[in-house]
Amino acid sequence: MFAARSTSKAKTKTKTTTESDRPEDERLGLGTAFTFGLQHVLTMYGGIIAPPLIIGAAAGLTPTEVGVLVAACLFMGGLATLLQTLGIPFFGSQLPLVQGVSFAGVATMLAIVNQGGGLPAVFGAVIVASLIGLVIAPFFAQIVRFFPPVVTGTVITMIGLSLVPVAARWITGANPEAGNYADPVFVGIAGFTLLVIMLLSKLGNSTISRLSILLAMVIGTVFAALIGKADFSKVFEGPIFAFPTPFAFGVPTFDLAAIVSMTIVVLVILTETTADIIAVAEITGSKVDRKRIAAGLRADMASSAISPIFNSFTQSAFAQNVGLVAVTKIKSRYAVAAGGVILIILGLLPVLGRIVAAVPTAVLGGAGLVLFGTVTASGIRTLSKVKYDGNMNLIIVAASLSFGVLPEVNHDIYSNFPTWFQVIFGSGISSAAIMAILLNLVFNHFSKGTPDNPSVFAASPVRAVKTDVIRVLREGDRYEGGTLIDAKGTPITVVDEEPGGSGH
């Protein structure tokens, strides 16, 4: 009896342990984790250094000062990534999400700089707005119940679609007036990188297939160097090691208008991070509830509030890395945490940052086409699970995606609207998310006024006939006037299937 009880307890313990395992908790070898972590860093590097380059130039900083700003953003991105992936009580979703400076706030921060506040006013606004976001994060997480597949699928699809222009700008260059804008050579480099990814993914070796993005970036960079389109000559110009100096650009100042504008940006970031958490959970098969979303949002806001101390800006999850998780099938959060360590090292060793910065953007663009397209495909997969019969889900998806794509295809569409409106609806992700949530509420929660037989926007019911019925039909059998008759015109008896019967 004692042995039986012990065995029972052992089985119970084993079962509990197995049930508590999560795909994102997979342990990887140190070398493997850092290899895939480097792949994550290379994927998001162009995105994380773009905001400090843009804002630094607008603030009139010298190249050395811009370098300090870039290093600070890399350093804080690494710390924020560790907080998000590893987590501490109440902070961090413990999902494979890379954190970095959010592009959502660039326009607002540029406006604050141009209005005379400079970087100190930007940093002050970020601190206060992030603290406000930290307070409302648990309440914001409650909207998860308004994210059924019709909403999450739409938002995930829009995340992928909104990132495609980023890949295009990496390939063509960001300045249409530049002499080498859309240079066919750059397009060729991107195409070559894309081809290498496809070839490596086709190989039977699973390790090479999973590392196809990283290997293709390396091969693409070597190819670009051979044809004279990659320049590593300035890698060793500047300091080798540098620790971010707190408040290097002055003590933060606090302007009410700047704080209000930045608070709107924080709301956009909370919306986008919520979408990214749900997207990566969908890809990895992880379970996400309101508590976990709230922990992820708190990590976002806490790291954003601390960032200005080390001369950085608002932090958020990077959507492009969600696509990398889908492509590589590496769901472990420890691989992303290793990427966070690499970001910290890059922030402390500017020389390494300069090496990564030397990777041609066309190479990043070629890889981005696969990564961002994968995010879109993941959203479509989610939308394929949605029921469209006898409801208005089709118009929810159609209107939300169209509304989200608008600011992506025409950046000037809201140029004459107030700044706060531009901040919210100038982002395709937040536009699609807001529209999808509102339409889902109108059509699926507030049912009053919705017709039982919806308009042309609703999909027609799918007609289906059981296989067993098809088997008993013969050539010439037909249905006329409510009666099933055979080829000779003789009525066929139709009987109800009896319990346990075959129905033939």
Flag whether pLDDT at 31 surpasses 80.
yes
Taking alpha carbons only, the member of 207, 203, 152, 163 closest to residue 330 is 207
The set of residues, in sequence order, having a beta carbon less than 8 Å from that of 47 and lying 6+ positions away, is 100, 103, 166, 318, 320
Q: Characterize 198-226 residue by residue with b for buried, 16 or more Cβ atoms within 10 angstroms of its Cβ, and e for exposed.
A: eebbeeeeeeebbbbbbbbbebbbebbee
Segment 41-60 shows an average pLDDT of 80
Q: Is 387 helix (H, G, I), strand (E, B) or coil?
A: coil
Higher pLDDT, 406 or 8: 406
Phi, psi of 108 (to 5 degrees): -65, -40
User: Residue 287: its pLDDT value, please?
Assistant: 85
DSSP per-residue codes, 175-191 = -TTSTTTT-HHHHHHHH
- Cα distances from 491 to residues 59, 305, 472, 477, 494, in angstroms, run 86, 78, 14, 10, 9
Segment 258-268 shows an average pLDDT of 83
Give the whole-angstrom CA distance, residue 172 versus residue 182: 4
Higher pLDDT, 334 or 357: 334
Taking alpha carbons only, the member of 338, 327, 328, 322 closest to residue 32 is 338
Segment 103-113 shows an average pLDDT of 79
User: Residue 256: its pLDDT value, please?
Assistant: 85
Token pair for 402: 């169209």
User: Residue 314: its pLDDT value, please?
Assistant: 92
Mean pLDDT over each residue of the chain, to the nearest integer: 82
402-443: pLDDT as tens digits: 999 998 889 889 889 887 787 778 778 778 888 998 999 999
At 448, the pLDDT band (50, 70, 90 cuts) reads low
Token pair for 101: 């400076």
Segment 464-484 shows an average pLDDT of 72
Q: Averaging pLDDT over each range in 47-51, 294-298, 496-500, which range is the top one?
A: 294-298
Share of the chain above pLDDT 90, in %: 30
Flag whether pLDDT at 502 surpasses 60.
no
At 294, the pLDDT band (50, 70, 90 cuts) reads very high
DSSP per-residue codes, 234-277 = TTTSS-S--PPPTTTT------HHHHHHHHHHHHHHHHHHHHHH
301-326: pLDDT as tens digits: 999 999 999 999 999 888 778 878 88
The set of residues, in sequence order, having a beta carbon less than 8 Å from that of 17 and lying 6+ positions away, is none
Q: Tell me the sheet residues that pair with 101.
A: 315
Which amino acid type is present at position 413? I
Among 15-24, 36-45, 388-397, which stretch is predicted with the lowest mean pLDDT?
A: 15-24
